[in-house]
Structure 1
Amino acid sequence: MVNWILFWSIITLPLATVIFFASKVLNIRRNKRRAVGFFHPYTNDGGGGERVLWCAVKAIQEENPDLDSVIFTGDHDASSQSLMSRATDRFGVHLLYPPKVVHLNKRKWIEEKTYPHFTMIGQSLGSVYLSWEALTKFTPLYYFDTAGYAFTYPIARLFGCKVICYTHYPTISLDMISRVHQRNSMYNNDASIARSTWLSQCKIIYYTVFSRMYGMVGSCAHLVMVNSSWTQSHIQKLWRIPERTKRVYPPCDTSGLQALPLEREVDTPKIISVAQFRPEKGHGAQLEAFSVAISKLDEDSPRPKLQLVGSCRNKSDEERLQNLKDKAVQLNINGDVEFHQNVMYRDLVRLLGGAAAGIHSMIDEHFGICVVEYMAAGAIPIAHNSAGPKMDIVLDEDGQQTGFLAQTVDEYADAILKIVKMPESDRLKIATAARRRASRFSEQRFYDDLKAAIRPIICHSS
């Protein structure tokens, strides 16, 4: 008798669990709200991704005022009014009305520190759990992922949502797999793995399996918007839904920054760097390049100043910022380097308005909003010679150079020296051409392109 009870328990318990969750999902599907739910667990990261979020919210509010805007966030201190104020104060984006807020309690499952190993798959599977929490709390008609969590798309479809995403960069790319093949050490490929043939082979298998999974979940989106030619190329190869993939350049504050005067101080040229204090942004290389440039300065050349401007998401970023300050001391350039943390938008505009050049050093930056902001503000860009800056941004405008591309520390240092020593008339020619090119990536163009992309999904779906 006991054996039969145990047998039926083993059979019926999983079945009952499946039936329970299926009935729960079906009930939720019948009660979807007329809203667009923006899945953006970190609404305080201060980067280009957050700017896209607020501009996307504004675009939806303008295009479909009858739909509520709902933000799924793990920031417990976020409120409708505080997020609306943040969009204005930090990014200069004026929402039409405050978005509703759904607080998420399980954000730890997508945090990097939760997964010391197999971080990529851990965070991806953790996002599935987080999206389940989000959609059981509030189920919108349209699920809009603005943070790159593709593994949540099948869950959103399970809940009956139309899935829209804005993809800044692929979670895995063919370039990443290639670097492991070549055994190159980088922030996402530990030196110990790069040195080992066996570990490199294991990582190649891991990356290959993950890329197949990533392709499957990504193909669940009804509409995919990508931010650059580089991202579009990779996403089309991985997700294989080119007919549902649209390129929408991210919103850059070109109009406000273009109002700044092009003339700059020549006695102390400012070199600005605008980027979150994250490992992939390459701040250490910027300090090294600046140090090399300082060491090569002629006595009669003006001495430049480097201004690092960025936000910190967490304690790791805070520690990284402190390490950069320590490195400036070690390089004996601390007197020539300023650090500006978590600045307000008006202060960022002021700093950009005083910069002769802007430096960017992230390898394979998917787009590079900061590079466009430099150009719009009249600061000559010195950008990494890869991906977005190389393919879309730092290109000649009407035959006139718009900036510099570099890869090595020496190349960055040479570009800094060229700008510092450049006659003001030559600098103004490049800055003028760069400003014209930046107008191609305006905030208004983002609104127009995004609205055009979403119109068939939102207007013609039930």
Structure 2
Amino acid sequence: MPSNFRLLQGSHTKFISRILVYTLQAYENWLRRNKSSVVSEIASLMILSGIFFILVFTVVLISLKLWIGWRSKSLLPHLRKDAQGRTLTTVGFFHPYCNAGGGGERVLWTAIRALQKKYPSIQCVIYTGDVDARPADIIDRARQRFNIVIVRPVEFVYLYRRDWVEAFKYPYFTLLGQSLGSVFLGWEAMMKFVPDIYLETMGYAFTGPLFKYFGGCKVGAYTHYPTISTDMIDRVSHRSRTYNNATFISGSLLLSAVKLAYYRLFAYLYGIVGKRFDLIMVNSTWTFNHIEALWQASDKTHIVYPPCDVTEFVKLPLERGGDKTILSVGQFRPEKDHPLQIESFSVFLKRMGDSERRAYKLCLVGSCRHDSDVERVNNLREFCEELGVADRVQFKLNVSFTELKQLMGSSTVGLHTMWNEHFGIGIVELMAAGCIGLAHNSGGPKLDIVIPHNGEQTGFLADDVPSYADAMETIFNMSDKERLKIQMNARESVQKFSDEEFECSFLTLMEPMLQNGEEKV
């Protein structure tokens, strides 16, 4: 056993011994002041039992923490030092779906690239559940999807229990189930490697205390979307039917009351774990407001807009040559509300003549993470058939960055329909590419993106089928000059969401943690 481990073990043993001595002395004094009786004997037995339980529990926790710390030094030792034998600071990113190809993954890879460029003594480690993908394949996908080339190799720690955080595993009490599942997944990650600095980048906040108190790490979080929000609680309170509040619950007063109590309890627990992070970064004003309300840690919570590849997209020409394509970019998840897009487009087409409607097209671009997403796409295809618009709707799955740019450069409208989208990288990229943004009147698009720039309009907002259909009609009825003015305003406004702005903010906030990490190493 290493000498430093014995030293730590010895110091903790002395500390526990002192607590035991002081406690027993206090107990002895208490006995002297109280005459012997059945009540005092029962009370003394309870006190002694409590003392014994606390001491045993404390010993177990300290021993477990020391064992984890000692064990972590022996695992993946090549990550601790470089080829010249110099000590490295390890930064672990907990991102079980690092190969998904969504906006969260763009943040992940941009953050890694930023750290590598500025700090040559940092080794980045990604905890991923993409066990079917080789490291080279994951990195190549990031290059193809996001046009991001990392500076140095990244180490991947593969996790084989990712199904513990899958929603399908918890048909009821999904939030609590996934959160507890993330603790098990986090434990697997910690058993394989403990970094100096731990960054949670996918929304699994319950893993933070695990790495902080057992792994001894500095812990930070980049939160895209709160696991629970005050809006979700309000919807349950008002018994509104949504994709995460089934009809049989919203229609029952009793079940709604039970779910409301459950949500409030979960929000309380979520707030407890959130406060434990040393650094909290959020991606938008909307997310900041909710995290501030739930975690109440304003002194260490900061807005860091996610990196959007506006540099590449602003190179695309603004003139569309009469193209009448409406383009949607986003993962095929239920909250993205693709049915609203299809139904709105259907209503819009009904206002056209038979010959005119053939000029319009809706193109849905997105990535599929697993079989559930594939099934969702198939259901959307059937929905198109039901509405009679299957010939006017295209599905393009897992497209390359090159193909994505081509689609953006040839579309007139950039469509977004998610209610309370935390930010909306897709709509930013569409606006940068010259598409007229048409987004949901809530969340990030409402507060940060589709807002006036220098007092001028940058896009359109809607919130239901009629308002989306009306906006589509308005956009296509505008003159080229009117559309060009909005395109130019929008393109100029999204410069604040560039890679450079993200890297500057991210590195500035990370610097104190990195310095502490280097001192620790």
Deviations 1:43-83 (A, max 9, x none): 22211011111111111112222110111001113333222
Contact 1:80-1:98 at 8 Å conserved across structures: no
Deviations 1:359-385 (A, max 9, x none): 100000010001101110000011000
Contact 1:81-1:98 at 8 Å conserved across structures: no
What secondary structure does 2:225 align onto? coil
Inter-partner Cα distance in structure 1 for 2:211 and 2:118: 23
Residue 52 in structure 1 maps to residue 107 in structure 2: yes
Deviation at 1:297, TM superposition (A): 2.1
Q: 1:63 to 1:164 in 2, by over 3 A?
A: farther
Residue 374 in structure 1 maps to residue 417 in structure 2: no
Residue 256 in structure 1 maps to residue 299 in structure 2: no
Q: Which amino acid aligns with 1:240?
A: Q
Match of 2:448 in 1: 392
Matches within 5 A, 1:304-323: 304-323=360-379
Residue 21 in structure 1 maps to residue 77 in structure 2: no
Residue 289 in structure 1 maps to residue 344 in structure 2: yes
Inter-partner Cα distance in structure 2 for 1:113 and 1:251: 31
Q: 1:139 to 1:345 in 2, by over 3 A?
A: same
What secondary structure does 2:376 align onto? helix
Match of 1:89 in 2: 144
What secondary structure does 1:140 align onto? coil
Residue 124 in structure 1 maps to residue 179 in structure 2: yes
Contact 2:223-2:282 at 8 Å conserved across structures: yes
Match of 1:160 in 2: 216
| Alignment partner of 2:275 out of 214, 219, 236 | 219
Q: 1:29 to 1:100 in 2, by over 3 A?
A: closer
Contact 1:90-1:345 at 8 Å conserved across structures: yes
Inter-partner Cα distance in structure 2 for 1:263 and 1:30: 58
Inter-partner Cα distance in structure 2 for 1:408 and 1:76: 40
Q: Which amino acid aligns with 2:143?
A: T
Inter-partner Cα distance in structure 1 for 2:389 and 2:288: 40
Contact 2:414-2:435 at 8 Å conserved across structures: yes
Q: Which amino acid aligns with 2:414?
A: G
Larger Rg: 2
Match of 1:184 in 2: 240
Deviation at 1:119, TM superposition (A): 0.9
Q: 1:129 to 1:299 in 2, by over 3 A?
A: closer
Contact 2:363-2:396 at 8 Å conserved across structures: yes
Q: Which amino acid aligns with 1:401?
A: Q
Contact 1:79-1:101 at 8 Å conserved across structures: no
Contact 2:101-2:142 at 8 Å conserved across structures: no
Deviation at 1:237, TM superposition (A): 1.1
Residue 173 in structure 1 maps to residue 216 in structure 2: no
Contact 2:280-2:300 at 8 Å conserved across structures: yes
TM-score, with structure 1 as normaliser: 0.94
Contact 1:357-1:382 at 8 Å conserved across structures: yes
Residue 197 in structure 1 maps to residue 250 in structure 2: no
What secondary structure does 1:150 align onto? coil
Match of 1:246 in 2: 302
Match of 1:441 in 2: 497
Deviations 1:264-316 (A, max 9, x none): 031x4110000111000010010000000001125785731100000111111
**Number of corresponding residues:** 453
Q: Which amino acid aligns with 2:195?
A: P
Contact 2:440-2:446 at 8 Å conserved across structures: yes
Inter-partner Cα distance in structure 1 for 2:377 and 2:478: 31
Inter-partner Cα distance in structure 2 for 1:345 and 1:412: 28
Inter-partner Cα distance in structure 1 for 2:299 and 2:123: 28
Inter-partner Cα distance in structure 2 for 1:206 and 1:223: 28
Q: Which amino acid aligns with 2:205?
A: A
Match of 1:145 in 2: 200
Matches within 5 A, 1:99-110: 99-110=154-165
Contact 1:290-1:306 at 8 Å conserved across structures: yes
Inter-partner Cα distance in structure 2 for 1:108 and 1:130: 9
Unmatched 5+ stretches in structure 1: 1-10
Instruction: Judge which range, 402-411 or 295-304, deviates more.
Output: 295-304
Q: 1:96 to 1:143 in 2, by over 3 A?
A: same
Match of 1:7 in 2: none
Match of 1:5 in 2: none
Matches within 5 A, 1:411-422: 411-422=467-478
Q: 1:16 to 1:246 in 2, by over 3 A?
A: closer
Inter-partner Cα distance in structure 2 for 1:26 and 1:94: 33
Contact 1:275-1:370 at 8 Å conserved across structures: yes
What secondary structure does 2:327 align onto? strand
Match of 1:115 in 2: 170
Inter-partner Cα distance in structure 2 for 1:293 and 1:121: 41
Deviation at 1:13, TM superposition (A): 11
What secondary structure does 1:308 align onto? strand
The share of aligned pairs that are identical, in percent, is: 46
TM-score, with structure 2 as normaliser: 0.84
Q: 1:344 to 1:460 in 2, by over 3 A?
A: same
Match of 2:41 in 1: none
Inter-partner Cα distance in structure 2 for 1:182 and 1:14: 43
Inter-partner Cα distance in structure 2 for 1:219 and 1:343: 39
Deviation at 1:173, TM superposition (A): 0.5
What secondary structure does 2:364 align onto? strand
Contact 1:304-1:420 at 8 Å conserved across structures: no
Residue 341 in structure 1 maps to residue 384 in structure 2: no
Inter-partner Cα distance in structure 1 for 2:62 and 2:307: 45
Contact 1:78-1:101 at 8 Å conserved across structures: no
What secondary structure does 2:302 align onto? strand
Deviations 1:82-112 (A, max 9, x none): 2221221111111101201111111111111
What secondary structure does 1:382 align onto? strand
Contact 1:301-1:420 at 8 Å conserved across structures: no
Contact 1:148-1:171 at 8 Å conserved across structures: yes
Unmatched 5+ stretches in structure 2: 1-52, 81-88
Contact 2:197-2:218 at 8 Å conserved across structures: yes
Contact 1:71-1:99 at 8 Å conserved across structures: yes
Match of 1:3 in 2: none
